[in-house]
């Protein structure tokens, strides 16, 4: 029988946990450094210029509370930036704002992985909670194979979402870097710091994907191992 706090699980996913810790350290380090380097405009102004250059003058930019809560809402066609990113005239703010604007550019050209990711969000959220619950219930009910395999199948939606999310995030950063240079918002020297921030952020998505994959493999291996026993 296995449980959510099985020590074997933490051993199983330890590579992802270590990568996640390293990625978070890199994000904070790169962000703190880039936050100290001035940019020619605020994050909101940079995002506005990128959107306008792509003909997306109809996409509004809203200021929202929180730290690093920045996002592009493809349903409402709104780009939302945290207060610090919205107002700050730093390379960190400009880089993050440009990344979110990159998602708006994806939406404008119907970038397929973005559409797939958005469609997978409710399924992944459903599968994350219910899938784990069914796996635990199946284990408690004398290794009920039907519940466990149904839980594993539902949790697979989380892995699928993470796998699709990777190219979406990488592509948004690529678009952001291209636009920042093409529009003359950040010079080559400044792009060094922007690249560090966006590349560090990308590592967090890699770590999340790896953890989802290893968690799925853990469930499968523990169940099939118990079946053999």
Give catalytic residues, as residue numbers.
100
d(CA 116, CA 114): 5
3-state secondary structure of 187: coil
Strand order in the sheet with 78-82: 61-64, 78-82, 71-73
Single out the residue of 68, 52, 93, 79 nearest to residue 186, CA to CA: 93
């Amino acid at each position: 029988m296995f449980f959510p706090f099985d020590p074997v699980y933490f051993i199983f996913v330890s590579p992802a946990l270590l990568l996640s810790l390293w990625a978070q350290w890199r994000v904070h380090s790169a962000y703190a450094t880039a936050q100290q380097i001035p940019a020619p405009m605020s994050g909101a102004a940079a995002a506005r210029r990128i959107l306008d250059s792509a003909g997306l003058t109809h996409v509004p930019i809203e200021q929202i509370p929180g730290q690093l809560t920045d996002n592009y809402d493809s349903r409402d066609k709104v780009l939302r930036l945290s207060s610090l990113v919205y107002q700050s005239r730093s390379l960190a703010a400009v880089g993050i704002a440009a990344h979110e604007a990159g998602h708006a550019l994806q939406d404008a050209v119907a970038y397929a992985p973005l559409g797939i990711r958005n469609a997978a969000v409710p399924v992944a959220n459903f599968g994350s909670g219910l899938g784990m619950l069914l796996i635990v219930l199946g284990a408690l009910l004398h290794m009920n194979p039907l519940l466990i395999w149904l839980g594993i199948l539902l949790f697979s939606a989380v892995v699928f979402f993470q796998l699709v999310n990777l190219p979406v995030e990488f592509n948004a950063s690529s678009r952001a870097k291209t636009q920042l240079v093409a529009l003359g918002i950040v010079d080559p020297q400044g792009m060094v710091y922007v690249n560090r921030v966006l590349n560090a952020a990308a590592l967090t998505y890699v770590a999340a994907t790896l953890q989802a994959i290893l968690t799925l493999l853990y469930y499968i291996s523990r169940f099939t191992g118990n079946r053999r026993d």
